[in-house]
Chains A and B, each alone.
Chain A
Amino acid sequence: MTATAEPRDRSAGRIEDRLLRGIRVSILAVTVTVQFGLCLTALVGNIDRYRPLWLEVASFVLLAGVAAAAAAFLVRGGRIPIAARSAGATLVLLAAGAASLAAPPGNHLDPAHWHFGLVGWYGVLLLFDLPWVFLTAFLAVLLAPAVAKAVVPDVPEPETWAAMAVSAVSVYGFQLALGLLVRGVQRIAARASAAAAEEEGIRTEEAVAEHMHGDHRQRYVALLSTTIPLLAGLGYGSLDPSDPETRRRCAQEAARMRRLFAEGDNVSDRLAHELRAVIEVAERNGVAVRFAARGEPRYVPKEVRRDLIDPVSAVLAAAVSTARVTVVRTPERVRVSAVGDAPGRACPEYESGHVEVEHVVTEDRLWVEAVWRRTMPSRWR
């Protein structure tokens, strides 16, 4: 069950991952286009006005570096780790400060202040899926050097203030609004993923229930040929409960049913578990059973387990007072054996479709061994 549910969960989570990655790639594309399409022209056009020029160029290169690193993360895994994001945001702030410092005096309406419209995009790229205060604080911090630059050395006229405000609000307001919008979309995607996962869980449960129902029917069929005639015989009086043979058949059917119930249990060593279930029934009938296992537990398919255990139930049902049950597991074979004191008994009947069964009958003992050779499909190993 877990083997099938796990990849499904991953596919549900992937919707959100893919959406986030798509958003990041788009924002990165916008950022890079703005930087190289618009800002680079502005930088080159005003190249004589920066003091010092290298600081302005360095901040441009630093921003491009952050974009390149983000691109690398997106190509590799689709996610940018938090540590890398905070480092990136810090570098962007530094670059904005540096670019502002080296830019000519005046306000951001001057095209030489190319960085003013650009750095906010980096904020959206790095911070959009964190709580909105991060992006808001980031954009607010970016405004500070721009305002400082605008009031030194001369405080501008009210008309200039108004123009600056309109520009700042339209640029940063747009970026903030976009950041919030994207975050909203992401939340919806997360809810959709959760709903999909839940639906898949329900579907898995349904499949499991269906499988179990099929299993129960199969078990009923397994009992149909042997248990039902016995019960019918007892019911109609054609079988005598005081007859030792009837009792032996009852014991064998009880063991078979107990084993079928044990098949549903979730244990690591199923073969030993189901053998113990059969042994338990024999012990209740007064047979002292000693059980021993050797070798590492290995996977044995259900139908093979049935065939391995059936001869054991037969011997235990025939045993009078003592029996020994063993299981030996080697890389090539799984061997299950039962020896019981059963004087004067012929070899009992059992199913043996998938296994080889050998028996030794002496005057006072009955020994049956069932062997499964693990030569079949490699997935069973």
Chain B
Amino acid sequence: MAADDAITVAVIDDHPVVLAGVEHWYSTADPPIEVVASGATAETAWTRPGDSAAVVVLDLQLSGSRLAYDDLRCLVDAGRQVIVYTMRDDERTALTCLDIGAFTYLTKAEGEDHLVAATVAAARDLPYTPPALAGAFGANTATERPRLSVREEEVLIEWFQCESKELVAERLGITPRTVNTYLDRVRIKYASVGREARTKAKLVARAIQDGLIQVDDL
């Protein structure tokens, strides 16, 4: 069984190689993360022992041609923290997942650098914006998008471009920590628009508690 302080995760992906790779990354993580269940369908997250996992990692393209938006919606409605982990690298998919209430959106190309950190953030209700998602936020021209400042947009796009907070910080003459703050504020703004979900509310509440954002900013 999981150690008391370990973050528990259920991983849903229909490729055994991906499952093995993800389990390997988690096994060396600090703080410890334990994969309590893994499988090829969303049932993994609904049945024991996966139903108690703090974080669900969900592949959007399970066997079949349709994207697993329905599975994502059900998990979000049950209050689960879901990290969408997918081969698809396009903004429409990313924004749709976020609107449904996914905790974050990670492309498989970003997995090695971001999956562990995103999982830790998910377990703690802290915002996490990987580059692919930042690019989707930055290029979003939909009318219902949240209002972003020029600086916020600039940070989003540069983070998407170079995938390095140090490079963004150097280019804009700010600290990497400030880069994080901008990214987090944008993520919170996105959590406060569109479809309502408990996972989004928790994210916004935590951000206000931490002083990351003011209620007036939303």
Contacts and interface: CB of A to CB of B under 8 A. Distances in A.
Contact of B141 (A326, A330, A358, A369): A330
A290 interface: yes
B135 A328 contact: yes
B28 interface: no
Most buried by B among A290, A292, A296, A367: A292
A362 B170 CA distance: 9
Given A294-B91, A360-B167, A362-B167, A328 B141 contact: no
Interface stretch (B40-48, B55-63, B116-124, B158-166): B158-166
A335 B170 contact: no
Interface in A317-350: 324, 326, 328-331, 335, 337, 339
B92 to A, nearest CB: 10
Contact of B161 (A295, A331, A335, A365): A335
B139 interface: yes
B167 A295 contact: no
Contacts, number: 57
Contact of A365 (B109, B138, B167): B167
A331 B153 CA distance: 14
B146 to A, nearest CB: 16
Nearest to A291: B89
A271 to B, nearest CB: 14
A295 B170 contact: no
B170 A360 contact: yes
Nearest to A330: B139
Interface string B141-165: 1000000000000000110111110
Interface string B78-122: 000000000001010000000000000000010000000000000
A331 B139 contact: no
Given A326-B135, A360-B171, A294 B164 contact: no
Interface string A295-332: 11000000000000000000000000000101011110
Nearest to B171: A360
A295 B163 contact: no
Interface residues of A, number: 20
Contact of A367 (B89, B139, B157, B167): B167
B33 interface: no
B62 to A, nearest CB: 23
B11 to A, nearest CB: 23
A324 B162 contact: yes
Contacts of A324: 161-163
Contact of A292 (B158, B160, B166, B170): B160
Contact of B160 (A328, A330, A360): A328
B132 interface: yes
Nearest to B110: A290
Contact of A294 (B109, B139, B162, B167): B139
A337 B161 contact: yes
Given A328-B157, A335-B157, A358 B171 contact: yes
A326 B141 CA distance: 18
B136 interface: yes
A339 B160 contact: no
Contacts of A294: 91, 135-136, 138-139, 160
B171 A326 contact: no
Contacts of A329: 139
A337 B166 CA distance: 16
Contacts of B170: 360, 362
B167 A339 contact: yes
Contact of B89 (A292, A295, A360): A292
A367 B141 CA distance: 26
A226 B164 CA distance: 33
Contacts of A292: 89, 132, 135, 160
5 contacts: A290-B109, A294-B136, A328-B161, A360-B162, A362-B170
Interface of B: 89, 91, 109, 132, 135-136, 138-139, 141, 157-158, 160-164, 166-167, 170-171
Given A292-B160, A295-B141, A324-B162, 6 more contacts: A295-B139, A296-B141, A326-B161, A339-B163, A365-B167, A367-B171
Give the top 6 A-B pairs by smallest Cβ distance, nearest first: A294-B139, A337-B161, A295-B139, A294-B135, A339-B162, A326-B161
